[in-house]
Homo-oligomer: A and B are copies of this chain.
């Protein structure tokens, strides 16, 4: 099996979709000849032509709003928004339109579409490229939000997102695009939406994370194990909306302690919902307050501060230890 980066795995998934389903179109800003600013759509226009893979005018609301129309009229649009913060420009079309057409039309029209977008910090682009705004979308009912942490899941989740009967926001962590390689089957397979994955079993504490934070959590878990014999379970949430509540509860019921990690600011971030789920299902299992390792309630940091402000392994380790101190 070929070892692919996440960018390659997604490129491959897109190619497979374009190949096997003529209803699939791939479009967005610079996705054509340029192959996307991260080269995720590289070679696709050349291979599938300008009718299947094309550049749009620079207008996010137009990209999402017209994808809604395409989906209603029988296509399977896969739209790219160049960076997640620019998806706020199309927030209204996503939240009140794409996510609501099923309800609004009494189920007569549905919007099976995917919005792919790079997100996350650590890459040091100019401002407003890296802000983790995913919680805003996760609160929009009717929309699914997915954030893979590795190449294998990225491909499988993307296929599942295309199969899904509803709109899916597909978040690709920029730092993961090329940072690790994994064996990825060439054929089409799906990784189910709505299901978290225990990527490291453990007994003492559960660490919930998604996207690039999963690697951080794994590193922290390995280190606390080595340093202090702490057995940390790492759960990759994978789908941020709707959350896999059963998986969250099962893990905390086992370990009695939890840490939630995300790059977004703390107030109103996804960790709050994870804690609320734990409160509802597993409060009596809980031996210590759930720890949140997040960015502070500030703007996304300027490049010179990324390393200091964003969550890091040391902070995850400290949080793990705090849950065990009490």
Given A141-B299, A268-B273, A276-B271: A92 and B88 within 8 A (CB)?
Answer: yes
| Given known A-B contacts A91-B92, A275-B272, A298 and B267 have beta carbons under 8 A apart | no
Q: Determine if A100 is an interface residue (Cβ-Cβ < 8 Å).
A: yes
Complex interface bits, A121-132 against B, C-beta within 8 A gives 1, otherwise 0: 000000110010
- The reply on A307 being an interface residue by CB < 8 A is no
The number of times this chain is found in the oligomer is 2
Complex-state Cα separation, A242 to B313, whole angstroms: 28
* B-side contacts of A275, CB under 8 Å: 272, 275-276, 279
Within 8 A of B (CB), among A104-129: 104, 127-128
Minimum distance in angstroms from A60 CB to a CB of chain B = 9
Contacts A280-B292, A286-B283, A290-B279 given; indicate if A268 touches B138 (C-beta within 8 A).
Answer: yes
Say yes or no: is A265 at the interface (Cβ < 8 Å to chain B): yes
Instruction: Assess the B139–A269 pair: CB atoms within 8 A.
Output: yes
Residues of B close to A136: CB separation below 8 A? 95, 136, 139-140
A96 interface residue (CB < 8 Å to B): yes
Whether a CB of chain B sits under 8 angstroms from the CB of A297 is: yes
Per the bound structure, the CA–CA distance linking A91 and B283 in Å amounts to 35
Q: Are B276 and A280 in contact (CB-based, < 8 A)?
A: no
A289 at the interface (CB under 8 A from B): yes
Residue A89 is within 8 A (CB to CB) of chain B in the complex: yes
State whether A299 touches B95 (Cβ < 8 A).
no
Main secondary structure of the interface of A (DSSP, over half): mixed
Interface string of A229-252 (1 = CB under 8 A from B): 000000000000111000000000
A288 at the interface (CB under 8 A from B): yes
Closest B residue, CB atoms, query A131: B96
Q: How far is B103's CA from A140's CA once the two chains are assembled, in angstroms?
A: 27
Q: Look across to chain B and name the residue whose beta carbon is closest to the beta carbon of A292.
A: B276
Q: Is A167 part of the binding interface, using a Cβ–Cβ cutoff of 8 Å?
A: no
A151 CB within 8 Å of chain B: no
Q: A139, B273: Cβ atoms under 8 Å?
A: no
List residues of chain B with CB within 8 A of the CB of A89. 92
Q: Say yes or no for A211: interface residue by CB 8 A criterion.
A: no
State how many angstroms separate the Cβ of A67 from the closest Cβ of chain B: 17
A-B pairs with beta carbons under 8 Å apart, 7 shown:
A100-B299, A103-B299, A142-B299, A243-B267, A275-B279, A279-B289, A284-B289
Q: A141-B267, A268-B270, A272-B273 are in contact. List 13 more A-B contacts (CB 8 A).
A: A88-B96, A96-B128, A100-B128, A100-B299, A103-B298, A103-B299, A135-B139, A135-B268, A241-B267, A241-B268, A272-B275, A276-B290, A283-B286
Residues of A whose CB lies within 8 Å of any CB of B are 85, 88-89, 91-92, 95-96, 100, 103-104, 127-128, 131, 133, 135-136, 138-142, 241-243, 264-265, 267-273, 275-276, 278-280, 283-284, 286, 288-290, 292, 297-299
